[in-house]
Structure 1
Amino acid sequence: MTAEEIIGETVRLLPSSVGVGVVEPMRWLNATLLPILVAWWGLRRRSISFSGAVCGLFVGFLLTLGSYAFFVNLLVFFVMSSKATKFKGSYKRKFEKDFKEGGERNWVQVVCNGGVASLMSWLYIIDCGCGEQPINLLYNYRCSWLSLAVLGALSCCNGDTWASELGTVLTSSQPFLITSLRPVPRGTNGGVTVIGLVMSFLGGMVVGVGHYLALLLLVSNSVMLSSPPQWHIIIVGALGGLLGSLIDSLLGATLQFSGMDADGKIVERDGAGVVWINGSHLLDNHAVNLISSLLTAILLPQLALLVM
Protein backbone atom coordinates (compact mmCIF):
# COMPACT_ATOMS: atom_id res chain seq x y z
CA MET A 1 0.00 0.00 0.00
CA THR A 2 1.39 3.39 -1.02
CA ALA A 3 1.52 6.41 1.27
CA GLU A 4 -1.30 8.02 -0.71
CA GLU A 5 -3.49 4.96 -0.24
CA ILE A 6 -2.79 4.85 3.51
CA ILE A 7 -3.67 8.53 3.90
CA GLY A 8 -6.79 8.10 1.79
CA GLU A 9 -7.86 5.10 3.84
CA THR A 10 -7.45 7.07 7.05
CA VAL A 11 -9.40 10.05 5.73
CA ARG A 12 -12.23 7.98 4.28
CA LEU A 13 -12.36 5.81 7.42
CA LEU A 14 -14.13 2.97 5.68
CA PRO A 15 -14.12 0.31 8.44
CA SER A 16 -14.09 -3.37 7.67
CA SER A 17 -16.08 -4.51 10.67
CA VAL A 18 -18.26 -1.54 11.61
CA GLY A 19 -21.21 -0.27 9.66
CA VAL A 20 -20.21 3.36 9.97
CA GLY A 21 -18.12 4.94 7.21
CA VAL A 22 -18.50 8.64 7.97
CA VAL A 23 -17.04 10.43 10.97
CA GLU A 24 -19.45 12.84 12.61
CA PRO A 25 -18.34 16.50 12.63
CA MET A 26 -18.71 16.57 16.42
CA ARG A 27 -16.09 13.82 16.77
CA TRP A 28 -13.63 15.80 14.64
CA LEU A 29 -14.32 18.84 16.82
CA ASN A 30 -13.96 16.94 20.08
CA ALA A 31 -10.77 15.26 18.86
CA THR A 32 -9.34 18.73 18.33
CA LEU A 33 -10.68 20.59 21.36
CA LEU A 34 -10.39 17.98 24.13
CA PRO A 35 -6.60 17.51 23.74
CA ILE A 36 -6.19 21.31 23.72
CA LEU A 37 -8.06 21.57 27.02
CA VAL A 38 -5.99 18.79 28.59
CA ALA A 39 -2.74 20.33 27.33
CA TRP A 40 -3.78 23.73 28.72
CA TRP A 41 -4.55 22.14 32.09
CA GLY A 42 -1.18 20.38 32.09
CA LEU A 43 0.71 23.56 31.24
CA ARG A 44 -1.01 25.50 34.00
CA ARG A 45 -0.16 22.85 36.57
CA ARG A 46 3.37 22.43 35.20
CA SER A 47 2.72 18.75 34.55
CA ILE A 48 3.91 19.10 30.96
CA SER A 49 6.33 21.34 29.08
CA PHE A 50 5.42 23.33 25.97
CA SER A 51 7.07 20.77 23.69
CA GLY A 52 5.25 18.01 25.54
CA ALA A 53 1.94 19.84 25.17
CA VAL A 54 2.39 20.26 21.42
CA CYS A 55 3.28 16.59 21.00
CA GLY A 56 0.40 15.66 23.28
CA LEU A 57 -2.05 17.38 20.93
CA PHE A 58 -1.26 14.83 18.23
CA VAL A 59 -1.40 11.91 20.68
CA GLY A 60 -4.71 13.14 22.07
CA PHE A 61 -6.16 13.76 18.62
CA LEU A 62 -5.51 10.21 17.40
CA LEU A 63 -6.83 8.63 20.59
CA THR A 64 -9.96 10.80 20.79
CA LEU A 65 -10.73 10.37 17.09
CA GLY A 66 -10.50 6.60 17.41
CA SER A 67 -12.65 6.23 20.51
CA TYR A 68 -13.71 8.40 23.42
CA ALA A 69 -12.83 5.41 25.59
CA PHE A 70 -9.22 5.80 24.41
CA PHE A 71 -9.34 9.47 25.35
CA VAL A 72 -10.56 8.55 28.83
CA ASN A 73 -7.66 6.09 29.14
CA LEU A 74 -5.24 8.87 28.25
CA LEU A 75 -6.92 11.37 30.57
CA VAL A 76 -6.84 8.98 33.53
CA PHE A 77 -3.18 8.21 32.91
CA PHE A 78 -2.16 11.85 32.51
CA VAL A 79 -4.03 13.18 35.53
CA MET A 80 -3.28 10.30 37.90
CA SER A 81 0.38 9.93 36.94
CA SER A 82 0.91 13.69 37.29
CA LYS A 83 -0.49 13.63 40.81
CA ALA A 84 1.56 10.54 41.67
CA THR A 85 4.75 12.19 40.43
CA LYS A 86 4.18 15.25 42.64
CA PHE A 87 3.30 13.18 45.71
CA LYS A 88 5.94 13.66 48.45
CA GLY A 89 8.30 15.34 46.00
CA SER A 90 10.57 16.66 48.75
CA TYR A 91 11.16 13.10 49.96
CA LYS A 92 11.96 11.77 46.47
CA ARG A 93 14.50 14.56 45.98
CA LYS A 94 16.64 12.97 48.72
CA PHE A 95 17.50 9.88 46.67
CA GLU A 96 16.73 10.84 43.03
CA LYS A 97 19.48 12.89 41.37
CA ASP A 98 17.34 13.80 38.34
CA PHE A 99 14.17 14.56 40.30
CA LYS A 100 12.22 17.37 38.63
CA GLU A 101 9.80 19.45 40.67
CA GLY A 102 6.28 19.02 39.29
CA GLY A 103 7.30 16.10 37.07
CA GLU A 104 7.08 18.23 33.92
CA ARG A 105 6.97 15.92 30.88
CA ASN A 106 8.68 16.95 27.64
CA TRP A 107 7.97 15.75 24.10
CA VAL A 108 10.30 12.75 24.41
CA GLN A 109 8.41 11.48 27.44
CA VAL A 110 5.08 12.06 25.70
CA VAL A 111 6.21 10.02 22.69
CA CYS A 112 7.62 7.20 24.83
CA ASN A 113 4.50 7.02 27.02
CA GLY A 114 1.80 7.79 24.45
CA GLY A 115 3.34 6.81 21.13
CA VAL A 116 2.37 3.14 21.19
CA ALA A 117 -1.22 3.92 22.20
CA SER A 118 -1.41 6.48 19.37
CA LEU A 119 -0.15 3.92 16.86
CA MET A 120 -2.71 1.36 17.99
CA SER A 121 -5.47 3.96 17.80
CA TRP A 122 -4.42 4.87 14.26
CA LEU A 123 -4.60 1.21 13.25
CA TYR A 124 -7.99 1.00 14.96
CA ILE A 125 -9.24 3.97 12.91
CA ILE A 126 -8.09 2.37 9.66
CA ASP A 127 -9.46 -1.09 10.42
CA CYS A 128 -12.51 -0.38 12.57
CA GLY A 129 -13.49 3.23 11.98
CA CYS A 130 -14.18 5.79 14.68
CA GLY A 131 -16.41 4.87 17.58
CA GLU A 132 -16.73 3.06 20.87
CA GLN A 133 -17.06 -0.71 20.74
CA PRO A 134 -17.37 -3.25 23.55
CA ILE A 135 -14.66 -5.87 23.80
CA ASN A 136 -15.68 -9.09 22.07
CA LEU A 137 -12.67 -11.23 21.24
CA LEU A 138 -14.84 -14.01 19.82
CA TYR A 139 -16.85 -12.12 17.19
CA ASN A 140 -14.92 -8.85 16.77
CA TYR A 141 -11.36 -9.93 17.35
CA ARG A 142 -9.33 -7.32 15.47
CA CYS A 143 -11.11 -4.27 16.86
CA SER A 144 -11.13 -5.77 20.35
CA TRP A 145 -7.43 -6.62 20.05
CA LEU A 146 -6.56 -3.04 19.09
CA SER A 147 -8.74 -1.62 21.87
CA LEU A 148 -7.00 -3.83 24.41
CA ALA A 149 -3.63 -2.85 22.96
CA VAL A 150 -4.43 0.82 23.63
CA LEU A 151 -5.55 -0.11 27.13
CA GLY A 152 -2.39 -2.16 27.62
CA ALA A 153 -0.04 0.62 26.52
CA LEU A 154 -1.58 3.22 28.84
CA SER A 155 -2.22 0.91 31.81
CA CYS A 156 1.44 -0.11 31.57
CA CYS A 157 2.57 3.51 31.75
CA ASN A 158 0.25 4.37 34.62
CA GLY A 159 1.04 1.20 36.54
CA ASP A 160 4.77 1.77 36.22
CA THR A 161 4.39 5.40 37.29
CA TRP A 162 2.39 4.43 40.37
CA ALA A 163 4.94 1.75 41.24
CA SER A 164 7.91 4.10 41.00
CA GLU A 165 6.31 7.30 42.33
CA LEU A 166 4.04 5.88 45.05
CA GLY A 167 5.61 2.52 45.83
CA THR A 168 8.90 4.14 46.82
CA VAL A 169 7.33 6.48 49.38
CA LEU A 170 4.50 4.38 50.82
CA THR A 171 6.70 1.67 52.26
CA SER A 172 9.67 1.60 54.59
CA SER A 173 10.95 -1.74 53.27
CA GLN A 174 14.08 -1.77 51.13
CA PRO A 175 13.59 -2.60 47.43
CA PHE A 176 15.05 -5.80 45.99
CA LEU A 177 16.37 -6.30 42.48
CA ILE A 178 13.82 -8.18 40.39
CA THR A 179 16.48 -10.36 38.74
CA SER A 180 18.57 -11.45 41.73
CA LEU A 181 16.35 -10.48 44.70
CA ARG A 182 19.30 -8.74 46.39
CA PRO A 183 18.54 -5.52 48.31
CA VAL A 184 19.20 -2.27 46.42
CA PRO A 185 18.85 1.43 47.33
CA ARG A 186 15.58 3.26 46.73
CA GLY A 187 15.28 4.60 43.20
CA THR A 188 17.41 1.84 41.64
CA ASN A 189 16.23 0.78 38.19
CA GLY A 190 14.83 -2.73 38.47
CA GLY A 191 14.25 -2.47 42.20
CA VAL A 192 10.78 -3.55 43.33
CA THR A 193 8.78 -3.79 46.55
CA VAL A 194 5.56 -5.60 47.36
CA ILE A 195 3.81 -2.26 47.82
CA GLY A 196 5.21 -1.09 44.48
CA LEU A 197 3.77 -4.12 42.69
CA VAL A 198 0.41 -3.55 44.37
CA MET A 199 0.53 0.09 43.22
CA SER A 200 1.24 -0.99 39.64
CA PHE A 201 -1.78 -3.31 39.76
CA LEU A 202 -3.99 -0.49 41.08
CA GLY A 203 -2.54 2.00 38.60
CA GLY A 204 -3.54 -0.22 35.70
CA MET A 205 -6.91 -0.87 37.31
CA VAL A 206 -7.94 2.81 37.34
CA VAL A 207 -7.23 3.01 33.61
CA GLY A 208 -9.40 -0.08 33.12
CA VAL A 209 -12.15 1.51 35.22
CA GLY A 210 -12.04 4.57 32.98
CA HIS A 211 -12.41 2.45 29.84
CA TYR A 212 -15.26 0.45 31.37
CA LEU A 213 -17.20 3.55 32.47
CA ALA A 214 -16.73 5.15 29.06
CA LEU A 215 -18.29 2.11 27.37
CA LEU A 216 -21.20 2.10 29.82
CA LEU A 217 -21.93 5.75 29.07
CA LEU A 218 -21.33 5.79 25.33
CA VAL A 219 -22.38 2.40 23.94
CA SER A 220 -26.09 1.66 23.53
CA ASN A 221 -27.74 -0.74 25.97
CA SER A 222 -28.74 -3.13 23.19
CA VAL A 223 -25.14 -3.49 22.04
CA MET A 224 -23.86 -3.91 25.59
CA LEU A 225 -26.48 -6.57 26.36
CA SER A 226 -25.47 -8.57 23.29
CA SER A 227 -21.77 -8.39 24.21
CA PRO A 228 -19.74 -10.32 26.79
CA PRO A 229 -19.58 -8.78 30.29
CA GLN A 230 -17.40 -5.69 30.06
CA TRP A 231 -16.44 -5.37 33.72
CA HIS A 232 -13.60 -7.77 32.98
CA ILE A 233 -11.87 -4.77 31.38
CA ILE A 234 -11.10 -3.53 34.89
CA ILE A 235 -9.21 -6.75 35.66
CA VAL A 236 -7.44 -6.65 32.30
CA GLY A 237 -6.35 -3.07 32.94
CA ALA A 238 -4.98 -4.08 36.35
CA LEU A 239 -3.05 -6.95 34.78
CA GLY A 240 -1.69 -4.51 32.19
CA GLY A 241 -0.37 -2.27 34.94
CA LEU A 242 1.31 -5.15 36.76
CA LEU A 243 2.68 -6.74 33.58
CA GLY A 244 4.03 -3.43 32.30
CA SER A 245 5.72 -2.68 35.60
CA LEU A 246 7.37 -6.11 35.68
CA ILE A 247 8.63 -5.72 32.11
CA ASP A 248 9.92 -2.23 32.92
CA SER A 249 11.72 -3.55 36.01
CA LEU A 250 13.32 -6.43 34.10
CA LEU A 251 14.59 -4.07 31.40
CA GLY A 252 15.73 -1.55 33.98
CA ALA A 253 17.62 -4.14 36.01
CA THR A 254 19.56 -5.50 33.03
CA LEU A 255 19.80 -2.89 30.26
CA GLN A 256 19.61 0.43 32.15
CA PHE A 257 22.48 1.77 34.24
CA SER A 258 22.02 2.50 37.93
CA GLY A 259 24.74 3.96 40.11
CA MET A 260 25.17 5.95 43.31
CA ASP A 261 27.06 9.22 43.37
CA ALA A 262 29.08 10.73 46.20
CA ASP A 263 25.94 12.35 47.64
CA GLY A 264 24.20 8.99 47.95
CA LYS A 265 21.74 9.73 45.13
CA ILE A 266 20.81 7.33 42.34
CA VAL A 267 22.09 8.34 38.89
CA GLU A 268 21.62 6.81 35.43
CA ARG A 269 25.01 7.88 34.05
CA ASP A 270 28.50 6.78 34.98
CA GLY A 271 31.03 9.34 36.11
CA ALA A 272 33.60 10.33 38.69
CA GLY A 273 32.68 9.05 42.11
CA VAL A 274 29.74 6.99 40.83
CA VAL A 275 29.50 3.46 42.20
CA TRP A 276 27.84 0.91 39.89
CA ILE A 277 24.79 -0.85 41.32
CA ASN A 278 23.35 -2.79 38.38
CA GLY A 279 22.50 -2.69 34.69
CA SER A 280 24.26 -1.38 31.59
CA HIS A 281 24.20 1.65 29.31
CA LEU A 282 22.21 -0.02 26.52
CA LEU A 283 18.89 1.74 27.28
CA ASP A 284 17.85 4.92 29.04
CA ASN A 285 14.62 5.47 30.96
CA HIS A 286 12.75 6.74 27.90
CA ALA A 287 13.64 3.67 25.82
CA VAL A 288 12.64 1.36 28.67
CA ASN A 289 9.24 3.06 28.92
CA LEU A 290 8.67 2.83 25.16
CA ILE A 291 9.62 -0.85 24.93
CA SER A 292 7.59 -1.75 28.02
CA SER A 293 4.54 0.01 26.59
CA LEU A 294 4.92 -1.77 23.25
CA LEU A 295 5.38 -5.23 24.77
CA THR A 296 2.43 -4.77 27.11
CA ALA A 297 0.24 -3.58 24.23
CA ILE A 298 1.10 -6.74 22.31
CA LEU A 299 0.84 -9.19 25.20
CA LEU A 300 -2.22 -7.90 27.05
CA PRO A 301 -4.82 -8.88 24.38
CA GLN A 302 -3.51 -12.44 24.57
CA LEU A 303 -3.69 -12.36 28.35
CA ALA A 304 -7.24 -11.02 28.13
CA LEU A 305 -8.31 -14.25 26.41
CA LEU A 306 -7.89 -15.93 29.80
CA VAL A 307 -10.11 -13.38 31.53
CA MET A 308 -12.83 -12.32 29.08
Structure 2
Amino acid sequence: MLDFIIGLACSFLIAFAAFKKSSLNKSGFIAATVLGTGIYYFGGLWFSIIMVSFFVSSSVLTKFKSSNKEALDNMNEKGGSRDYIQVFANGGIGLIFAFLHFVYNSPIFLLAYAVSFGVSTSDTWASEVGVLSKNKPISILNFKPIEKGMSGGISILGTIFAFLGSAFISIIFFIAYMVIYNNIQQGINYSLLCLFLGFLGSVIDSILGASIQAQYYCEDTKGFTEKRVYKNKTNKLVKGFSIVNNDVVNFSSNLISTLLALIIL
Protein backbone atom coordinates (compact mmCIF):
# COMPACT_ATOMS: atom_id res chain seq x y z
CA MET A 1 0.00 0.00 0.00
CA LEU A 2 2.87 2.35 0.81
CA ASP A 3 4.39 1.86 -2.68
CA PHE A 4 1.04 2.75 -4.22
CA ILE A 5 0.77 5.94 -2.17
CA ILE A 6 4.35 6.98 -2.94
CA GLY A 7 3.89 6.22 -6.62
CA LEU A 8 0.61 8.14 -6.77
CA ALA A 9 2.00 11.17 -4.94
CA CYS A 10 5.19 11.39 -7.02
CA SER A 11 3.42 10.74 -10.31
CA PHE A 12 0.77 13.32 -9.53
CA LEU A 13 3.33 16.01 -8.71
CA ILE A 14 5.47 15.33 -11.82
CA ALA A 15 2.43 15.11 -14.10
CA PHE A 16 0.93 18.26 -12.60
CA ALA A 17 4.16 20.17 -13.15
CA ALA A 18 4.18 18.97 -16.76
CA PHE A 19 0.55 20.00 -17.13
CA LYS A 20 1.32 23.50 -15.86
CA LYS A 21 4.20 23.71 -18.37
CA SER A 22 1.79 22.61 -21.15
CA SER A 23 3.77 19.42 -21.77
CA LEU A 24 0.57 17.50 -20.99
CA ASN A 25 -3.07 18.38 -21.52
CA LYS A 26 -5.75 17.35 -19.00
CA SER A 27 -6.20 13.82 -20.32
CA GLY A 28 -2.42 13.41 -20.58
CA PHE A 29 -2.05 14.58 -16.99
CA ILE A 30 -4.49 11.94 -15.75
CA ALA A 31 -2.93 9.23 -17.93
CA ALA A 32 0.61 10.09 -16.81
CA THR A 33 -0.48 9.93 -13.17
CA VAL A 34 -2.02 6.48 -13.71
CA LEU A 35 0.97 5.24 -15.72
CA GLY A 36 3.53 6.56 -13.24
CA THR A 37 1.66 5.11 -10.27
CA GLY A 38 1.46 1.68 -11.89
CA ILE A 39 5.12 1.66 -12.89
CA TYR A 40 6.31 2.67 -9.42
CA TYR A 41 4.02 0.15 -7.73
CA PHE A 42 5.08 -2.78 -9.93
CA GLY A 43 8.67 -1.80 -10.71
CA GLY A 44 9.88 0.44 -7.93
CA LEU A 45 12.27 3.38 -7.95
CA TRP A 46 14.56 2.46 -10.86
CA PHE A 47 11.74 1.61 -13.22
CA SER A 48 10.30 5.03 -12.44
CA ILE A 49 13.65 6.74 -12.97
CA ILE A 50 13.87 5.28 -16.48
CA MET A 51 10.35 6.47 -17.27
CA VAL A 52 10.87 9.95 -15.80
CA SER A 53 14.18 10.26 -17.68
CA PHE A 54 12.33 9.72 -20.94
CA PHE A 55 9.50 12.05 -20.10
CA VAL A 56 11.51 14.95 -18.69
CA SER A 57 14.19 14.88 -21.41
CA SER A 58 11.58 14.62 -24.16
CA SER A 59 9.50 17.46 -22.69
CA VAL A 60 12.59 19.68 -22.51
CA LEU A 61 13.45 18.97 -26.15
CA THR A 62 9.84 19.56 -27.21
CA LYS A 63 10.03 23.06 -25.72
CA PHE A 64 13.56 23.64 -27.05
CA LYS A 65 13.42 26.33 -29.77
CA SER A 66 9.65 25.81 -29.92
CA SER A 67 9.24 29.06 -31.87
CA ASN A 68 11.20 27.46 -34.72
CA LYS A 69 8.69 24.59 -34.78
CA GLU A 70 5.50 26.67 -34.99
CA ALA A 71 5.43 26.36 -38.78
CA LEU A 72 4.91 22.60 -38.33
CA ASP A 73 1.63 23.00 -36.43
CA ASN A 74 -0.42 22.74 -39.62
CA MET A 75 1.43 19.57 -40.55
CA ASN A 76 1.47 17.55 -37.35
CA GLU A 77 -1.68 15.90 -36.08
CA LYS A 78 -1.04 16.92 -32.47
CA GLY A 79 0.76 19.77 -30.76
CA GLY A 80 3.36 19.85 -28.00
CA SER A 81 0.90 19.01 -25.20
CA ARG A 82 0.65 15.23 -24.99
CA ASP A 83 -2.76 13.62 -24.53
CA TYR A 84 -3.67 10.30 -22.92
CA ILE A 85 -3.25 8.36 -26.16
CA GLN A 86 0.29 9.66 -26.63
CA VAL A 87 1.12 8.87 -23.01
CA PHE A 88 0.00 5.25 -23.29
CA ALA A 89 1.38 4.83 -26.83
CA ASN A 90 4.82 5.65 -25.45
CA GLY A 91 4.54 4.14 -21.97
CA GLY A 92 1.82 1.51 -22.01
CA ILE A 93 4.08 -1.33 -23.12
CA GLY A 94 6.55 -0.35 -20.43
CA LEU A 95 3.80 -0.68 -17.82
CA ILE A 96 3.07 -4.22 -19.03
CA PHE A 97 6.72 -5.23 -18.66
CA ALA A 98 6.92 -3.60 -15.23
CA PHE A 99 4.01 -5.82 -14.21
CA LEU A 100 5.67 -8.92 -15.72
CA HIS A 101 8.88 -8.12 -13.84
CA PHE A 102 6.83 -7.75 -10.65
CA VAL A 103 5.34 -11.21 -11.19
CA TYR A 104 8.40 -13.13 -12.45
CA ASN A 105 11.35 -11.01 -11.24
CA SER A 106 13.29 -11.75 -14.43
CA PRO A 107 15.99 -9.42 -15.80
CA ILE A 108 14.61 -10.06 -19.29
CA PHE A 109 11.53 -8.01 -18.45
CA LEU A 110 13.67 -5.20 -17.04
CA LEU A 111 15.54 -5.15 -20.35
CA ALA A 112 12.32 -5.18 -22.39
CA TYR A 113 11.01 -2.34 -20.22
CA ALA A 114 14.15 -0.28 -20.85
CA VAL A 115 14.02 -1.02 -24.59
CA SER A 116 10.45 0.26 -24.65
CA PHE A 117 11.48 3.62 -23.25
CA GLY A 118 14.68 3.57 -25.28
CA VAL A 119 12.57 3.47 -28.44
CA SER A 120 10.32 6.28 -27.24
CA THR A 121 13.28 8.43 -26.21
CA SER A 122 15.19 7.77 -29.42
CA ASP A 123 12.21 8.61 -31.60
CA THR A 124 11.24 11.73 -29.64
CA TRP A 125 14.77 13.13 -29.49
CA ALA A 126 15.18 12.53 -33.23
CA SER A 127 11.86 14.20 -34.03
CA GLU A 128 12.25 17.23 -31.78
CA VAL A 129 15.84 18.01 -32.74
CA GLY A 130 15.83 16.72 -36.31
CA VAL A 131 13.28 19.34 -37.42
CA LEU A 132 15.81 22.03 -36.44
CA SER A 133 18.24 20.82 -39.11
CA LYS A 134 19.05 23.44 -41.73
CA ASN A 135 18.72 20.86 -44.48
CA LYS A 136 15.55 19.15 -45.64
CA PRO A 137 15.12 15.58 -44.40
CA ILE A 138 14.98 12.68 -46.83
CA SER A 139 12.54 9.79 -46.92
CA ILE A 140 13.93 6.68 -45.26
CA LEU A 141 12.41 4.61 -48.09
CA ASN A 142 13.49 6.36 -51.29
CA PHE A 143 15.96 8.97 -49.97
CA LYS A 144 14.11 11.77 -51.73
CA PRO A 145 13.73 15.14 -49.94
CA ILE A 146 10.49 15.64 -48.01
CA GLU A 147 9.07 18.46 -45.93
CA LYS A 148 10.31 18.94 -42.38
CA GLY A 149 8.06 17.36 -39.77
CA MET A 150 6.59 14.70 -42.03
CA SER A 151 6.81 11.16 -40.69
CA GLY A 152 9.36 8.91 -42.34
CA GLY A 153 11.93 11.65 -42.81
CA ILE A 154 15.48 11.30 -41.56
CA SER A 155 18.41 13.70 -41.27
CA ILE A 156 21.96 13.49 -39.99
CA LEU A 157 21.08 15.64 -36.97
CA GLY A 158 17.98 13.61 -36.20
CA THR A 159 19.83 10.31 -36.56
CA ILE A 160 22.57 11.46 -34.19
CA PHE A 161 20.00 12.39 -31.56
CA ALA A 162 18.11 9.15 -32.11
CA PHE A 163 21.31 7.32 -31.16
CA LEU A 164 21.97 9.66 -28.22
CA GLY A 165 18.43 9.19 -26.92
CA SER A 166 18.79 5.42 -26.93
CA ALA A 167 22.25 5.69 -25.37
CA PHE A 168 20.84 7.93 -22.62
CA ILE A 169 18.28 5.31 -21.58
CA SER A 170 20.84 2.50 -21.94
CA ILE A 171 23.18 4.17 -19.47
CA ILE A 172 20.38 4.62 -16.93
CA PHE A 173 19.32 1.02 -17.53
CA PHE A 174 22.87 -0.20 -16.83
CA ILE A 175 22.90 1.61 -13.48
CA ALA A 176 19.48 0.20 -12.64
CA TYR A 177 20.58 -3.31 -13.64
CA MET A 178 23.66 -3.13 -11.43
CA VAL A 179 21.61 -1.95 -8.46
CA ILE A 180 18.95 -4.63 -8.90
CA TYR A 181 20.97 -7.62 -10.18
CA ASN A 182 24.65 -6.70 -9.62
CA ASN A 183 25.95 -8.61 -12.65
CA ILE A 184 28.36 -6.36 -14.54
CA GLN A 185 29.00 -8.62 -17.56
CA GLN A 186 25.34 -9.30 -18.18
CA GLY A 187 24.59 -5.66 -17.43
CA ILE A 188 26.99 -4.53 -20.16
CA ASN A 189 25.60 -7.05 -22.66
CA TYR A 190 22.01 -6.08 -21.93
CA SER A 191 22.84 -2.37 -22.08
CA LEU A 192 24.38 -2.74 -25.53
CA LEU A 193 21.31 -4.66 -26.66
CA CYS A 194 19.11 -1.93 -25.17
CA LEU A 195 21.11 0.68 -27.09
CA PHE A 196 20.81 -1.22 -30.37
CA LEU A 197 17.10 -2.04 -30.07
CA GLY A 198 16.20 1.43 -28.86
CA PHE A 199 17.86 2.98 -31.90
CA LEU A 200 16.42 0.28 -34.18
CA GLY A 201 12.97 1.15 -32.86
CA SER A 202 13.32 4.71 -34.12
CA VAL A 203 14.34 3.36 -37.54
CA ILE A 204 11.30 1.07 -37.58
CA ASP A 205 9.17 4.05 -36.57
CA SER A 206 10.47 6.02 -39.56
CA ILE A 207 9.87 3.10 -41.94
CA LEU A 208 6.29 2.69 -40.73
CA GLY A 209 5.78 6.45 -40.87
CA ALA A 210 6.96 6.59 -44.46
CA SER A 211 4.99 3.57 -45.64
CA ILE A 212 1.68 3.02 -43.85
CA GLN A 213 1.03 6.14 -41.76
CA ALA A 214 -1.80 8.30 -43.06
CA GLN A 215 -0.82 11.43 -44.96
CA TYR A 216 -3.35 13.92 -46.26
CA TYR A 217 -3.45 16.85 -48.67
CA CYS A 218 -5.09 20.01 -47.38
CA GLU A 219 -6.72 22.24 -49.98
CA ASP A 220 -6.81 25.24 -47.62
CA THR A 221 -3.08 25.22 -46.83
CA LYS A 222 -2.08 23.71 -50.19
CA GLY A 223 0.23 21.30 -48.44
CA PHE A 224 0.60 17.82 -47.00
CA THR A 225 -0.36 17.12 -43.42
CA GLU A 226 -0.96 14.35 -40.91
CA LYS A 227 -4.24 15.97 -39.85
CA ARG A 228 -7.36 14.24 -41.10
CA VAL A 229 -9.49 17.35 -40.54
CA TYR A 230 -8.60 21.03 -40.94
CA LYS A 231 -11.13 23.73 -39.99
CA ASN A 232 -13.96 21.19 -40.00
CA LYS A 233 -13.04 20.04 -43.51
CA THR A 234 -11.86 16.48 -44.17
CA ASN A 235 -8.53 16.40 -45.96
CA LYS A 236 -7.81 14.03 -48.85
CA LEU A 237 -5.94 10.84 -47.97
CA VAL A 238 -2.98 10.54 -50.36
CA LYS A 239 -0.82 7.90 -48.66
CA GLY A 240 -1.06 5.20 -46.04
CA PHE A 241 -4.10 4.05 -44.10
CA SER A 242 -6.51 6.36 -42.30
CA ILE A 243 -6.47 4.24 -39.14
CA VAL A 244 -2.67 4.51 -38.86
CA ASN A 245 -1.70 7.78 -37.23
CA ASN A 246 1.48 8.73 -35.37
CA ASP A 247 0.28 7.13 -32.12
CA VAL A 248 -0.29 3.80 -33.87
CA VAL A 249 3.17 4.01 -35.45
CA ASN A 250 4.80 4.84 -32.10
CA PHE A 251 3.04 1.96 -30.36
CA SER A 252 3.86 -0.48 -33.17
CA SER A 253 7.57 0.35 -33.34
CA ASN A 254 7.73 0.12 -29.56
CA LEU A 255 6.01 -3.27 -29.53
CA ILE A 256 8.17 -4.70 -32.33
CA SER A 257 11.41 -3.66 -30.62
CA THR A 258 10.46 -5.03 -27.22
CA LEU A 259 9.34 -8.32 -28.75
CA LEU A 260 12.69 -8.53 -30.54
CA ALA A 261 14.38 -8.23 -27.14
CA LEU A 262 12.41 -11.23 -25.90
CA ILE A 263 13.09 -13.23 -29.08
CA ILE A 264 16.84 -12.54 -29.03
CA LEU A 265 17.12 -13.65 -25.44
2:203 to 221, 240, 246: 246
Stretch of structure 1 that moved more, 205-214 or 103-112:
205-214
Opposite residue 152 of structure 2, the aligned amino acid is G
What is aligned with 2:226?
Answer: 268
Residues 76 and 150, structure 2, Cα contact 8 Å, conserved in 1: no
Is the CA contact 1:191–1:249 (under 8 Å) kept in the aligned structure 2?
yes
Residue number in structure 2 paired with 1:201: 163
Which one of the candidate residues 81, 104, 107 is aligned to 1:127?
104
**Which residue in 1 is equivalent to 2:212?**
255
The 5 A counterparts of 1:43-58 are 43-58=19-34
Which residue of structure 2 aligns with residue 60 of structure 1?
36
- Residues 4-44 of structure 1: CA deviation (Å, up to 9, x unaligned): xxxxxxxxxxxxxxxxxxxxx65344323221221122122
Matches within 5 A, 1:78-97: 78-97=55-74
Alpha-carbon distance between aligned partners in 2 of 1:182 and 1:100, rounded to the nearest angstrom = 23
> Alignment identity in percent?
26
The match for 1:283 among 240, 244, 254 is: 244
**Residues 207, 280 of structure 1: alpha-carbon distance in 2 compared, 3 angstrom cutoff:** same
User: 1:20-35 residue pairs with structure 2 within 5 A?
Assistant: 26-35=2-11
Q: 2 CA distance for matches of 1:267 and 1:293?
A: 23
Quote the Cα distance in structure 2 between the aligned partners of 1:253 and 1:85: 22
Task: Using structure 1 for the length normalisation, give the TM-score.
Answer: 0.75
Counterparts in 2 of 1:104-119, with a 5 A limit? 104-119=81-96
Structure 2: runs of 5 or more not aligned: none
User: Residue 115 of structure 1: CA displacement?
Assistant: 0.7
1:157 to 2:120 alignment: yes
- Does 2:107 match 1:144? yes
Q: Tell me if structure 2 keeps the 8 A contact 1:156–1:241.
A: yes
Compute the displacement of 1:180 (Å). 1.5
Provide the TM-score with structure 2 as the length reference.
Answer: 0.86
Partner SS state of residue 150, structure 2 = coil
2:134 counterpart residue number: 172
Distance change (3 Å), C-alpha of 1:276 and 1:175: farther
Count of residues in Structure 1 that have an aligned counterpart in Structure 2: 260
The change in CA–CA distance for 1:167 and 1:234 in structure 2 (over 3 A counts) is farther
Q: CA RMSD, aligned part only?
A: 2.7
Distance 1:37 1:274, change over 3 A: closer
Secondary structure at the counterpart of residue 36 of structure 1: helix
Provide the rounded CA distance (Å) in 1 between the counterparts of 2:16 and 2:248. 27
In 2, Cα distance between equivalents of 1:273 and 1:298: 36
**What secondary structure sits across from 1:151 in the alignment?**
helix
Cα offsets for 1:253-289 (capped at 9, x unmatched): 1111234545365411467896877534240111111
Q: Is the 8 A contact 1:123 1:146 kept in 2?
A: yes
CA separation of 1:46/1:270 partners in 2, compared to 1, >3 Å: closer, same or farther? closer
Greater helix fraction, Structure 1 or Structure 2:
2
Distance 2:164 2:239 in 1: 28
Shift of 1:230: 2.6
